[in-house]
A and B are shown apart, each in its own frame.
Chain A
């Protein structure tokens, strides 16, 4: 089955750039999406198809995907960005797949 692997945690200082990676076999051949989840809340899509931001998502969120790795970048990180982040893709054999999740801490 297809798997996506993320680092368990990322720490960033306010105003700095946070990069969250997502690794999967030939992930660059797939569309990769990103979600933000805060405690007690449902996930929110922050990066959509073609690495676009859905309406209402700040410009500081961006995505890229190449080779075996997709990356979510948060530029000028703010305290409100502290949350869990999940990558997600679709595989014809496995179905929808979520990454293992990354906890972003803004120190």
Chain B
């Protein structure tokens, strides 16, 4: 199970930290991702924390967002700074269980809504 929290209303230029608490599996043994979906729009991948320890950010959030994980809490985080109106979306965490070449998402959280507006 994946449970996100931390969303809310924030002004442009502001910051938020999202959390994704996992249960039933170990976060550090999987490629853990953040995926967002703006209202009425498609899915957009945001960031990954690979099981091997590396990270990757989409170009649209590079330099503004940071992904991290706390193995002791089995939790994934997304620190979002310099937020823009176009970052408004439901943010979900998703697990990629594959080894070797990264693959697919088999478990998704329900998501947390981030609204960037003045």
Contact = CB atoms under 8 A, between A and B. Distances in A.
Given A96-B33, A101-B43, A45 B106 contact: yes
Interface residues of B, number: 24
12 contacts: A31-B101, A45-B104, A49-B104, A86-B42, A88-B43, A88-B105, A90-B103, A94-B59, A95-B45, A96-B35, A96-B102, A97-B45
Interface residues of A, number: 23
Interface of B: 33, 35, 42-45, 48, 56-59, 92, 96, 98, 101-106, 108-111
Contact of B48 (A33, A48, A95, A98): A95
B104 A43 contact: no
Interface in A82-107: 84, 86, 88, 90, 94-101
B109 A42 contact: yes
A58 interface: no
A70 to B, nearest CB: 13
A15 interface: no
A43 B108 contact: yes
